[in-house]
Every structure is written in structure tokens, then in C-alpha cells.
Structure 1
Amino acid sequence: MSEATTLTALFESLDAVGEGERLSIGEVLSVIGARGYGPLVLVLALIAALPTGAVPGIPTICGVCIALVSAQLVFGKAVPWLPKRLKQLSIERSRYKQVSYRIKPWTRRIDRLVRPRLTALTEGAATRVIGLAGVALGLCMIPLEVIPFAAAAPAMAIALTGLGLTGRDGVWVLAGLVPAGLAVWLITRLLGG
């Protein structure tokens, strides 16, 4: 797993990438993919959970990407991979930058709360459990897109586990896995399971 990364540094890296009118998932992956799975699922989950998630199709795209990336985590793949077609999907860069600008004061506050602790929950076999939760929640986001902002709930659970992986903080991983379990249970109940 990668070394700890701050959330603010992650967004600043994304702010600096590319110059076109749109920010693609491929560009996001090129910036944060080498750092590990935590930053990648964190960014994808935040895109779905924040106002950008209100754009039709975004929760589904993010959910599919999260499920694919999380499945690779389950199988122990060292570096995340996405199909070319998914890497080409994008959002307006101006919309991303607006969200990034608004969220940075919050990321600075969050960075003060994240530090390496309970690191056993951010490496080894624990990452496979996190991956399973990510697959389940990513897939749950797809049918929830029909209800405005409903996909934000599983996306936030994924974001918390991604934050924990990013900062190597097992407390945040636990904070994400508890609501993740509840969200999966609730969604399966709602879908008739």
C-alpha cells in the first residue's frame, strides 16, 4: 500500500493536471493511481457524493469505476487499472474546480484528523475486506442514481474507507465500514433481498 497522503495535497495534484475543458477519469488515474487505491476510490466517491454527483450518469460511472477498482483490491493487484473507455469519461473541468475550491477549507480540517493509526486495518488481508465493501457499495450506487443524491450515502461510506487507506488511518476505515455494512443491508432490503 502507498504511503500516507493528505487530502488537500490530493486535490491540489488534481487541480494541476491537464489543460482541456474537461477532466477525465484517465487524468485522475494518472495523477493518483501510482499512490494506491485509497486516493482513487476516495476521489471517485467524492465526485459521486458532492454536487457533481447530481449530474445524470455520474453516480453510475463512479459506482462502476469504484466496483472495478475495489475488485482489483480484493485480488491483490498492485496498481489500479481501468478500461480505456472508462478512462475517457469526463466532467467539465470548471465544475470540478468549483467543487475543489469550495472543498479545500474542509480538506484542511480533515487532514488534521487523519494520521497513521491502526495501520493493520489499511494493509494486507484487511484491504480485501475493504475491497469487498467497495464492490458492494459501488454496485449499489447504480440503482440509487434514480433518486437524487441517494447514491451519496454509499459514496460517503466509500470515501471514508478511501480516506483511511489514503492516510493509513484504520479509525477512518472503520468509520467507513460500519455504515457500508448498514448501507448494503438496507439496499438489499429495499431491492427485495
Structure 2
Amino acid sequence: MPPSDITDSPLRPPPSSMTEIVDDVLSLCDAEEVSVRDMLAAFGNAGFLPALLIPAVIVVSPLSGIPILPSICGIMIFLVSIQMLGHRRHLWLPGWLLRRSVGTKGLRTAMERLHRPARWLDRHSGRRLGFLTRQPMLSLLQLACAICGLAMPLLELVPFSSSLLAAAICLMGLAMITRDGLWALVALLPVAGAITLLLTIWT
């Protein structure tokens, strides 16, 4: 297996909730560090959504204050989203990105703090406005995630501001997981906030 491919992981069904993703990341926090490859391998061949949501969840957390981390997560989000748009069967990420790691002490704290919000989101999700999670709208959601990921390095100039875009990606990912188009609409709010920040910074 080439170092940049994740294709030999065991099969498992796609995640059905945000809480499941947070719990699976928490389960990796026994070692001192966990790499991107380790996180993706924990989900097996469960599709692209875990690879999209893991970096988004990290940037939503206080870990977004670590220098360069939001940019790395943004690049990963962009690459995953583009491959979703291209309907690739297997995820490809560059080896240098798969080897990136984060200390599990901070990761555990961050995921524990996100556990309650994740449960709240899951409890308040349902099959609403389903047409917003089907084609052609699904491709628009994936494109929006790609644009948000690409913008994260620009927003790193303002501490924690990347979290706005990451929150939007989490909501769009949740919409895709639960087929709840309402969350796709709610995602427009943090996107609008991030655009306002970008205009304020660059004008």
C-alpha cells in the first residue's frame, strides 16, 4: 500500500451521528500522539465523511489555537471535498499529511468538551428538507466545504476565526450524515460570519 493511500482498512458502515465521530477519535487517545493516518484507519473504509469531519471537529475545538493546525486541517478538508466532488472510490491524501500528528492530551480534552454539543446536534437532527442533501445540492455542499477548507489558512491570521468555517463544515457534514437539509441552511450563518471576517481583514 502506498503511504498516501488508505485502502486496506476494515470495512465498517459510515458514521450515523456526530457523537460517533467524536467517540471514535476519543478511543484513539491512549497513546501520546495520534496521526492523521491513525484517525482515518479507525473509521475503516467508511466513506469520505469521517475524513471530512475529523479535521473540522478539531478546528472547532480549542485546538484551533495551535499555530498552523487550522491550515493543515483546511488543506485536508479541501482535498477530501474535491475527491468527494470527483466521486473517487478511495481516499487519497499526501504522505506528509497522513504523518501529521497531534498530542492526545489536548485532543482528549477537546473531544470531551465537544461531546455534549455533538449529542445535542444528534438529538435535534432528522430527515428534513431532504432535497438539500441530494444531487445536485449535494455537490454544492461538497463544493462549499472545499471553499471553506481553502479559506482556513487565510483566516489563521485571526486566532480561532477558522473555527467559524469549521463549524459550517461540521453542520454540512451532519446534514449529509443525517439527510437533514435544515443543518445545511444553518451552516450559512458561520460561513457569513467568516466572509465578514475575511472582508474586514483584507480590505
Q: Is the 8 A contact 2:29 2:107 kept in 1?
A: no
- The alpha carbon displacement at 1:25 in A equals 1.2
RCO higher in 1 or 2 (8 Å CA, sep ≥ 6)? 1
- Cα distance in 1 for partners of 2:29, 2:114 equals 20
**SS of 1:34 mapped into structure 2:** coil
Larger displacement relative to structure 2 (55-64 or 178-187): 178-187
Residue 95 (str. 1) matches residue 77 (str. 2): no
Q: Is the 8 A contact 2:161 2:194 kept in 1?
A: no
- Cα distance in 2 for partners of 1:3, 1:73 equals 14
* CA displacement, residues 132-168 of structure 1 (integer Å, 9 cap, x when unaligned): 1112111111021121111111111111111211222
Q: CA RMSD in A?
A: 2.4
Using the size of structure 2 for normalisation, the TM-score is 0.82
**Count of matched residue pairs:** 191
Aligned match for 1:63, one of 55, 58, 74? 74
Q: Is the 8 A contact 1:46 1:155 kept in 2?
A: yes
- The alpha carbon displacement at 1:172 in A equals 1.0
**SS of 2:88 mapped into structure 1:** coil
Aligned match for 2:33, one of 22, 27, 32? 22
Structure 1 segment 100-179 matched on structure 2, within 5 A: 100-177=111-188, 179=190
Larger displacement relative to structure 2 (55-64 or 27-36): 27-36
More helix by share: 1
Share of identical aligned residues, percent? 30
- The alpha carbon displacement at 1:96 in A equals 0.8
* CA displacement, residues 33-87 of structure 1 (integer Å, 9 cap, x when unaligned): 6333333322211211210000111100011001111111221223432112101
Residue 46 (str. 1) matches residue 46 (str. 2): no
- The alpha carbon displacement at 1:189 in A equals 7.2
Deviating beyond 4 angstroms after TM superposition, the runs of 4 or more aligned structure 1 residues are: none
Amino acid aligned to 1:109: W
